[in-house]
Amino acid sequence: MLDIRFIKENLEAVRQNIRDRYMDADVDLAISLYDKKNALLREIEESRRCRNENAQAMKSNLSKEERSIRIEEGKRLKETIARLEAELQEVEAAFAEELAKIPNMAHPQAPRGKEDKDNLEVKRVGSPTQFSFPPKDHVELGQSLDILDFDTATKVSGTKFYYLKNEGTILELALVRYALDMLSKHGFTLMTTPDIAKTEILEGIGFNPRGAESNVYTLEGEGTCLIGTAEITLGGYHSDSVLEKDQLPIRYAGISHCFRREAGAAGQFSKGLYRVHQFTKVEMFVYCLPEESEPIHEELRLIEEEVFSSLDIPFRVVETCTGDLGAPAYRKWDLEAWMPGRNNGEWGEITSTSNCTDYQARRLNVRYRDKDGKNRFVHMLNGTAIACSRAIIAILENHQQADGSVKIPKALVPYCGFDLIRPHRI
């Protein structure tokens, strides 16, 4: 969340930022509730002072009539304080709710726009793959290679689930291990995270676990949810903590399953593995000093580029426009791979990396102790190293051969133990 003092001092800039992001947040209501909260706190403090004075007066020699008056005054003050405290509780909850709706400020260079078509291409690595034969999409390839089974998964689990089989299972494990080896060399601490997190951790990270539009699977009666990304569990790792300055930056690489409802995600761009309810991902997460977050954000993007360059996947880097940014993100880059089977050849998102500055840290109360002994909020960043389902799409579609086989990228061969996946049936 944003600091309320920052909001009050930069009111028009905050209003404009909300407009740029096409979000629904009432800054004036948040400020009004904040002021009301402070007024109630002052009123409670004054009532408590009067109650204490009244209690002290009760200890002196009083006539029966004076004591009776003091007793009635004590009852009145007790009722007043209880009423004010109940009202304060309601106002604090309303203020927290309104403050949480206000998004992070967007980077000045973030493109102003409403949706993903307004994102800005900033870099291209490789050229769209050319074939001497009509290329297949990953669904057809996966079935002919006998490494993907959507039909049985639909019968067992429902739509947007899948079985990986044979070399497909090995390929996913190879991608995970390859990403972990690369991140280890970059100084990341490797972690396997829980697949479940408490609701308050999701809310702190900026996910909405409630309502029809939520993308989150909640566990009824448990106060917990299935995570949509290890960003949640890695971001919650140091919640309510004070880190030492010399510990920073802290770099984590987390493996998890990811669960997403994908409400409303229908159509051709959701075909096959592109939008599924469950997938495996290796996520990067960094806690750092405020002055480090912009260069570290660049570092995360370059690691993503290193991963997919080494897999011989053509991709482009796009900067996300303000309307397509999630509320916590200050700046976000996506890598989009060339997917020959997507609408006869299109770019499709394979990774993203976001600098969330201190927005999540304020909500999760993650601070560091500076050289003067003051506690300040850290900056928090996240980035996808490998989302296995989409990486598999890019590998199958870009490395397919005329005979229906798929070549394994050279960098993955030592991890797979084979260099080619051949059709099991045609």
Whether 351 and 385 share a structural domain:
yes
Quick one: what percent of the chain has pLDDT higher than 90? 82
Q: Which residues does the annotation mark as catalytic?
A: 260, 275, 349, 352, 390
**What was the pLDDT predicted at 115?**
86
In a domain, 272, yes or no: yes
CATH number for 22? 1.10.287.40
Q: Is residue 107 part of a domain?
A: no
Q: Do 161 and 53 share a structural domain?
A: no
For residues 210, 213, 219, 225, the Cα torsion angle rounded to the nearest 10 degrees is -80
At 60, the pLDDT band (50, 70, 90 cuts) reads: confident
pLDDT band at 204 (very low <50, low <70, confident <90, very high): very high
Average pLDDT, stretch 314-337?
95
Indicate the pTM of the whole model: 0.90
Mean pLDDT confidence for 204-214? 78
| Residue at token pair 């080896």 | 181
Q: Is the same domain home to 237 and 94?
A: no
Would you place residue 418 in the very low, low, confident or very high pLDDT band (cuts 50, 70, 90)? very high
State whether 410 and 261 are in the same domain.
yes
The parent domain of residue 342 ranges over 116-421
**Number of compact structural domains in the chain:** 2
Q: Are residues 174 and 216 in the same domain?
A: yes
Same-domain pairing of 73 and 128: no
pLDDT in tens, 212-271: 667 899 998 889 999 999 999 999 999 999 999 999 999 999 999 999 988 655 544 567
- Asked if residue 177 and residue 92 are part of one domain, the reply reads no
166 and 205 fall within a common domain = yes
- Tens of pLDDT, residue by residue over 391-414, are 999 999 999 999 999 999 999 999
pLDDT at res. 426: 46
pLDDT tens, residue by residue, 293-307 = 999 999 999 999 999
Same domain? 263 vs 391: yes
Residue finishing a domain among 101, 134, 165 = 101
Identify the sign of the CA torsion 163, 165, 168, 173: positive
A 10 A CB-CB count for 309 gives 15
Compute the distance between CA of residue 325 and CA of residue 115 in angstroms, rounded to an integer: 9
Q: What is the pLDDT of residues 113-130, one digit of tens each?
A: 988 889 999 999 999 999
Q: What is the reported pLDDT for 187?
A: 96
Q: Is residue 229 part of a domain?
A: yes
Here the CATH number for the domain that contains residue 402 is 3.30.930.10
* Residue-level pLDDT at 280: 97
**pLDDT one-digit tens code per residue, 359-383:** 999 999 999 999 888 999 999 999 9
In terms of domains, do 286 and 338 share one?
Answer: yes
pLDDT tens-digit profile of 148-192? 999 999 999 999 999 999 999 999 999 999 999 999 999 999 999
| CA–CA gap between residue 103 and residue 125 (Å, rounded) | 32
Q: Is the dihedral of CA 379, 383, 385, 388 positive or negative?
A: positive
Distance, in Å, from the CA atom of 304 to the CA atom of 308, rounded to the nearest integer, reads: 7
pLDDT for 296 equals 98
Tokens of 217: 């699977």
Residue 256 shares a structural domain with residue 402 = yes
Distance CA 332, CA 320 (A): 6
pLDDT, mean of residues 311-324: 96
- Checking if the pLDDT of 210 tops 50, the result is yes
- List the end-to-end C-alpha distance of the chain, in Å, as a whole number: 54
Judged on CB neighbours under 10 Å (0-12, 13-18, 19+), 60 is: exposed
Mean pLDDT for 43-59 is: 87
Per-residue pLDDT at 344 exceeds 90: no
Is 132 inside a domain boundary? yes
What mean pLDDT do residues 124-142 have?
94
Residue linked to tokens 């991963």: 307
Residue 276 has a CB neighbour count (10 Å cut-off) of 21
Helix (H) or strand (E) holding 420: strand 420-421
Q: Is residue 110 part of a domain?
A: no
